[in-house]
Amino acid sequence: MKTFITTSIPYVNGPPHLGHAMEFTIADVLARYARLRGDEVILSIGTDEHGGKIAEKAESLKLTPQEFTDQMSQKFQDLATTLEISNDRFIRTTDKDHEARVQKIWESIKDDLYIKQYQAWYCTGDEAFFSDAVVKKNNNVCPEHNRPYEKIVEENYFFKLSKYNQRIKDLIVSNEFLIIPETKRNEILSLLDEGLEDISVSRPKSKIYWGIPVPGDESQVIYVWFEALLNYITVLGFPDKSDFKDYWPASYQVIGKDIIRFHAAIWPAILMSLGIATPKKLYVHGFINVDNLKMSKSLGNSIDPFAIVDQYGADAFRYFFLRHIPSYDDGNFSWEAMASSYQNELGNELGNAVQRTAVMVKNYLASELPEPESKKAYDQEIGSLIENCRFDKALEQIWLRVKNLNQFIEDQKPWSLYKAGEQKKLVLVLNSQIKALRYIADLLQPFMPDVSDKISLIFNSKQLNLPERTLFPRRDLD
């Protein structure tokens, strides 16, 4: 089976934050799990790089937009490397190939485009338009960005979004286009009940120069959101490359809850206009609070994901954000919770089970291990939790196995068997521990690839490979 998985592509106006890091990790778990299952996978991530906000920011730093986006995009590529993300592609919306394909796509949806004189409110911070009602409610100032809405009177190209309202609704209701979790599915359905209006999909070049020109109309550039969404198919070489034919529709698109309207309403409409299938599943994750407060510039409480990885390592980061941020809801990060998860669950539970078993095999069995068995299939229940994006529950199930193993060791007391000279029983008990750990390593593979490899390296041959250091050395907070 061919499986295509995407994250949303972060807008490069600021450095990577915890939400980006968690989203990359989620998509990576889905991709690694699919590969374990034997699928051929393309995991695509990337960066969204056009628009007025980028040009504005670059100017303030005395850089060209290209220089600025080169630097910023690199930070996201570094984040992916740091988190051991196994992405096959990294698309930038400033890639020449993307730009050329976007222009071709524009030509092929021309029947759904028209020019209209337009009045609306715009916030460059969001690169989005707002209605009179929203602007009035917020007293003319965008609360997210603390900047006044700009009144815009322009002649723009519009896309006939309203035309697709019913068809999108039908697809979502039938779960042909499955939105996970249910709460987010309901949210978008009620939005569709209110009815979609046509949207502006270009801006005058006089206002925004950093973008892809509208083909055949030098006075306009394509609206940044509109072309950014197209990355999901330009990255596969739509329309002519075989990857597109082989891998589309996407099996999973992973996004945050703030951009659900773009991905569950506008994006499927564009695909319908192109006459191609919508994604199979859209998984919407929640927000991460820090110390139970929303991350914000004014609170100065945003946390650099690189700082967490520096202290605890990539696998502990991956574990924390997938186990302790509820998969179907918002969640909370604190350094205390991170430290406690690292010391207790990883160190005392998993680390100890590995360490104790390894030392007993060395001392009681002269480091001899049972023949490695042929690979067992991935646990069905845990597998289906992953497929439904219940990463928190999947890790809970794996941890139940870790806890059971520790309990088994406590109950069987291999050290007493050794003292009593009950060699036969001792071998049986230790072999059970080893088999359990080999399987736990396999189950952890999508979540903690490095830890999984390390456990396998210790136990997966006929001779124990005792590690020089424990898997999770103590890292006390200063």
Residues binding Zn ion (CB under 5 A): 123, 125-126, 142, 144-145
**Vertex 470: Cα angle to 469 and 472 (nearest 5):** 130
Q: Which is nearer to Zn ion, 99 or 150 (CB)?
A: 150
The verdict on whether omega for the bond into residue 473 sits within 30 degrees of 0, i.e. cis, is: no
In whole angstroms, the minimum distance from the beta carbon of 208 to Zn ion comes to: 16
In angstroms, the CA 391 to CA 161 distance is: 34
What is the C-alpha end-to-end distance of the chain, expressed in Å? 49
In angstroms, the CA 239 to CA 104 distance is: 9
In whole angstroms, the minimum distance from the beta carbon of 310 to Zn ion comes to: 32
Specify the amino acid at residue 284.
Answer: V
In whole angstroms, the minimum distance from the beta carbon of 257 to Zn ion comes to: 17
Backbone angles phi, psi at 281, to 5 degrees: -135, 140
Joined together, the tokens standing for residue 125 give 């911070």
Q: Where are the alpha helices (DSSP H) in 350-422?
A: 352-365, 380-387, 391-412, 414-419
In whole angstroms, the minimum distance from the beta carbon of 233 to Zn ion comes to: 28
Q: Which is nearer to Zn ion, 17 or 163 (CB)?
A: 17
Q: Which is nearer to Zn ion, 29 or 260 (CB)?
A: 260
Q: Which is nearer to Zn ion, 133 or 477 (CB)?
A: 133
**Number of Cβ atoms within 10 Å of the Cβ of 8:** 24
Strand intervals (E) in 217-304: 217-222, 252-256, 281-285, 288-290, 293-294
**Three-class SS of 136-197:** HHCCCEECCCCEECEEEEEEEEEECCHHHHHHHHHHHHCCCCEEECHHHHHHHHHHHHHCCC
In whole angstroms, the minimum distance from the beta carbon of 123 to Zn ion comes to: 3
Q: Which is nearer to Zn ion, 13 or 156 (CB)?
A: 13
In whole angstroms, the minimum distance from the beta carbon of 66 to Zn ion comes to: 25
Q: Which is nearer to Zn ion, 102 or 295 (CB)?
A: 295
User: In whole angstroms, how far apart are CA 105 and each of 59, 63, 114, 324?
Assistant: 30, 31, 15, 41
Q: Which is nearer to Zn ion, 56 or 304 (CB)?
A: 56
- Give residue 127's region: left, alpha or beta (phi > 0; psi -120 to 50): left
In whole angstroms, the minimum distance from the beta carbon of 60 to Zn ion comes to: 17
Q: Which is nearer to Zn ion, 138 or 397 (CB)?
A: 138
Q: Is 81 exposed, middle or buried (0-12, 13-18, 19+ CB in 10 A)?
A: exposed
Nearest residue to 285 (alpha-carbon basis) of 25, 5, 12? 25
Half-sphere exposure of residue 395: CA atoms within 13 angstroms, side-chain side: 24
Helix%, strand%, coil% for the chain, nearest 5: 50, 20, 30
In whole angstroms, the minimum distance from the beta carbon of 124 to Zn ion comes to: 7
Spatial contact of 390 and 328, defined as CB atoms under 8 Å apart: yes
Q: Which is nearer to Zn ion, 104 or 136 (CB)?
A: 136
Q: Which is nearer to Zn ion, 143 or 300 (CB)?
A: 143
Q: Which is nearer to Zn ion, 125 or 249 (CB)?
A: 125
In whole angstroms, the minimum distance from the beta carbon of 144 to Zn ion comes to: 4
Joined together, the tokens standing for residue 118 give 């337009």
In whole angstroms, the minimum distance from the beta carbon of 296 to Zn ion comes to: 13
In whole angstroms, the minimum distance from the beta carbon of 125 to Zn ion comes to: 3
DSSP letters for 84-115: T---SEEEETTSHHHHHHHHHHHHHTGGGEEE
